[in-house]
């Protein structure tokens, strides 16, 4: 039986080495090889004796996913369809910013949350991804990045990371570990539709990543229609959890708000939002809805979005209107899994 070491933390690699009679210090070399150097096979890790490399290749082969399709667009966004070891396919998106490549990572194959404007839950949740499978998405994009580097990671692909909590936290540790990718937590964002117990747990992990919460409405009545998890964790409870996150980490919370024409884009909704959100630690990210075939949602006009943003700003909130990267290839927020690759968009 083979062992999967992609996703293992240093102590686990040390235990593995001990069980195979390999000196403990080799574990760090192995971890640095697969995480920092991004090797695709143990045979590339020349620092190890040949016999150790051969043993690892036989007993702990590295599961590098296969890229089975790609779609790219003029704005530098590239969507990859990766096939995992069990044949399951997941989407990963590379976003080009002036400061470098950002990896948008999936945490589950599919999703069970059912947010109405999102396509990722259409086929349900097939399975959770392992930390190694999340990391493999980053490593694949690293291999293809012009400078071989990833400037940031957002867990905003398909899936709800708080529903796959243990693997998500392990992935976050590997991104930040000194033997791992040594990424600053400021460069990492975890996005949730509002799973309150997950937010409270993450606040205590000592991994002060940016928390992004999909809000999308200022009343429970509307939010429960758009984001069904609101029936379990209503807005008041959600904001309390976000406040606890800020208190524990000192990190400002981003509230994602997808603007849906005629549904949640009125000045009244903006005023309610402005009255409800904390100026001190809240930031609003307005996202024009991305069209998904078969869904009735339309993008508000630029003027309407501008007026909505102005009301929030007048209330003292920080606001960004997100540039919608990747819309033409179905790689934008809420579009993953909407269209099989072969259909394109």
Q: Which residues bind ligand SF4 (CB under 6 A)?
A: 111, 113-115, 118, 120-121, 158-160, 193, 214
Q: How far is the CB of 111 from ligand SF4 (least distance, A)?
A: 3
C-beta closer to ligand SF4: residue 114 or 278: 114
Rg (CA), the chain: 21
Residue 26 or 216 with smaller CB distance to ligand SF4 = 216
* Residue 333 designated active-site: yes
- The minimum distance between CB 193 and ligand SF4, in angstroms, equals 4
Residue 91 appears among annotated catalytic residues = yes
| Rounded distance between C-alpha atoms, residue 115 and residue 256, angstroms | 13
CA distance 40 to 127: 25
Q: From edge to edge, which strands make up the β-sheet containing 253-259?
A: 66-72, 78-83, 89-97, 100-104, 152-155, 188-192, 210-214, 253-259, 282-288, 318-321
Q: Give which of 199, 315, 193, 203 is closest to 255, Cα–Cα.
A: 193
Residue 299, CA atoms < 13 Å, CB-side half-sphere: 15
∠ CA 123-129-133, nearest 5°, is: 125
Cβ burial of 12 (10 Å; 0-12, 13-18, 19+) is middle
In the complex with ligand SF4, which residue's Cβ is closer, 117 or 179?
117
End-to-end CA distance of the chain: 42
The nearest distance, CB 6 to ligand SF4, in angstroms, is: 24
CA-to-CA distance for 21 and 270, rounded, in angstroms? 63
Check 91, 160, 163, 256 and give the catalytic one.
Answer: 91
CB of 278 to ligand SF4, least distance (A): 23
Rounded to whole angstroms, the Cα distance separating 53 from 6 reads 15
The answer to whether 324 and 330 have CB atoms below 8 angstroms apart is no
Q: Which residue of the set 104, 125, 193, 333 is catalytic? A: 333
Closest distance between ligand SF4 and the C-beta of residue 256, in Å? 9
Give me the residue label for tokens 């070891």: 85
Which helix (H) or strand (E) is 210 found in, with range?
strand 210-214
**Helical segments of 177-321, H only:** 196-203, 220-226, 235-249, 267-276, 302-314
Q: Is 303 in contact with 259 (CB distance < 8 Å)?
A: no
Question: How near is the Cβ of 229 to ligand SF4 at its closest, in Å?
Answer: 8
Least Cβ distance, residue 214 to ligand SF4 (angstroms): 6
Q: Whole-angstrom Cα distance, residue 322 to residue 104? A: 15
Which positions are annotated as active-site residues?
A: 91, 333
């Amino acid at each position: 039986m083979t062992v999967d070491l992609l996703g293992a933390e240093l102590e686990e690699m040390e235990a593995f080495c001990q069980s195979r009679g390999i000196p403990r210090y080799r574990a760090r070399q192995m971890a640095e090889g697969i995480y920092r150097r991004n090797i695709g096979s143990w045979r590339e890790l020349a620092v190890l004796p040949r016999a150790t490399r051969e043993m690892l290749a036989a007993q702990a082969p590295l599961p590098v996913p296969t890229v089975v399709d790609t779609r790219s667009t003029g704005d530098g966004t590239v969507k990859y369809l990766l096939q995992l070891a069990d044949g399951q396919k997941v989407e990963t998106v590379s976003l080009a910013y002036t400061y470098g490549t950002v990896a948008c990572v999936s945490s589950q194959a599919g999703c069970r949350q059912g947010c109405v404007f999102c396509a990722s839950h259409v086929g349900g949740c097939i399975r959770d991804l392992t930390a190694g499978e999340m990391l493999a998405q980053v490593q694949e994009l690293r291999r293809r990045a012009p400078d071989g580097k990833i400037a940031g990671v957002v867990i905003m692909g398909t899936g709800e990371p708080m529903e796959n909590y243990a693997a998500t936290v392990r992935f976050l540790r590997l991104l930040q570990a000194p033997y791992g990718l040594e990424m600053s937590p400021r460069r990492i964002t975890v996005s949730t539709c509002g799973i309150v117990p997950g937010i409270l747990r993450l606040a205590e992990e000592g991994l002060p990543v940016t928390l992004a919460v999909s809000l999308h409405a200022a009343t429970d009545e509307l939010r429960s229609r758009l984001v069904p998890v609101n029936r379990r964790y209503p807005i008041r409870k959600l904001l309390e959890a976000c406040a606890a996150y800020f208190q524990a980490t000192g990190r400002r919370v981003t509230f994602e708000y997808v603007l849906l024409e005629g549904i949640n884009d009125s000045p009244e909704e903006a005023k309610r939002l402005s009255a409800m959100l904390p100026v001190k630690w809240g930031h609003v990210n307005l996202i024009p809805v991305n069209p998904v075939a078969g869904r009735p949602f339309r993008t508000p006009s630029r003027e309407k979005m501008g007026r909505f943003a102005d009301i929030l700003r007048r209330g003292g909130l920080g606001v960004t209107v997100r540039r919608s990267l990747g819309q033409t290839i179905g790689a934008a927020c809420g579009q993953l899994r909407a269209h099989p690759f072969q259909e394109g968009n």
